[in-house]
Amino acid sequence: MDKIASAKQQQRRRAAQKSFAGRRKAEVVLRVMNGEDAHDVAEAMGVSVTEIETWRREFVIAGERRMGELPLGLLERCFSPFERLVPLASLVSVALAVFLFVQGQHRDREAREREAGRAREQRVTESFNALDDKYIDYVKLCLEHPELDVFDIPIPHAASPSPEVRRREGMMFAILISVLERSYLMYRDQTDPFKREQWAGWEAYIVKWLERPNFVEEWQRTKKEFDADFARYMDALIARKRP
């Protein structure tokens, strides 16, 4: 009986040593597969680089053989402890690495999109404020020169304005047309909902000004000084109003 017990103990020790050897090899190979330098791992584990490469080839071959030969339901039962540990650990490690990589790429893409969205919103806000400031400056000039017929509400003239008044009105309209041109370039033919809404308001404002004879007269005199597309747009609106 003692001999039998001793033989069983020796068998269990050999199995434990074999399992430990398998775990040790798996640890070494997985460290290299996860990106660690093979020479550093070999030095730390007390093995040679050649041994590591041999183990890696054995793991791959064993994993491919078992995966190809056995039905999926029998894999866990048929793998030896050593083979079960290494191929599955390798597959889990690779799958996890792929998952984390894809997840990281997705997070990075979302972060870039959020940053780009914030940048677009900032540019739109800055452009809107700049154009709004230009229009406010024009209104301030109108307040400073109430005798000129250059504000939204026309001034009924009992007599034709003098050449000096026309000259000063032309100077004011040059400022106004520049503001309208900027609104056209900023908001015309835009897909952004905010810009489309802004353009609808500016276009209504332009149409209103084109009902003013003194404004149209100044436009016809100076239109070659402005953007060609804007000039064609303005002329098309004027032509549409003609009987």
Q: Whole-prediction pTM value?
A: 0.51
150 with 101, same domain: the answer is no
88 with 156, same domain: the answer is no
| Residue 117 domain flag | no
Q: Which of 192, 198, 185, 197 is nearest to 117 (CA)?
A: 192
66 with 10, same domain: the answer is yes
CA angle 37, 108, 91 (to 5 degrees): 45
- Would you state the structure tokens that stand for residue 27, as one six-digit string? 């640890």
> Residue 231 above 50 pLDDT?
yes
| Residue 155 domain flag | yes
Q: Which of 84-88, 125-129, 159-163, 217-221 is modeled with the greatest confidence?
A: 217-221
Q: What average pLDDT does the structure give for the chain?
A: 77
* Residue range 13-58, pLDDT digits in tens: 554 444 446 667 777 777 777 778 878 877 887 888 888 788 777 7
CB distance 172 to 142 below 8 Å? yes
8 with 67, same domain: the answer is yes
Task: Indicate the pLDDT class of residue 184, thresholds 50, 70 and 90.
Answer: very high
Q: Which residue has the tokens 């002329």?
A: 235
Write b or e for each residue in 5-28: b if 16 or more Cβ atoms lie within 10 A of its Cβ, otherwise e.
eeeeeeeeeeeeeeeeebeebbeb
8 with 81, same domain: the answer is yes
Q: Out of 109, 131, 166, pick the residue that ends a domain.
A: 109
170 membership: H or E segment, kind and range: helix 163-187
| Residue 139 domain flag | no
CA distances from 243 to 133, 214, 233 (A): 36, 19, 18
Q: What is the mean pLDDT of residues 186-195?
A: 82
> Residue 66 above 80 pLDDT?
no
User: What percentage of the chain has pLDDT greater than the value 90?
Assistant: 30
Distance CA 91, CA 177 (A): 69
Report the domain count for the chain. 2
Q: Which domain holds residue 229?
A: 145-241
Per-residue pLDDT at 238: 92
| Residue 78 domain flag | yes
Check residues 73 and 181 and name the one with the higher pLDDT: 181
* Residue range 70-129, pLDDT digits in tens: 455 544 554 455 444 455 555 555 555 556 666 667 777 787 887 877 776 677 677 678
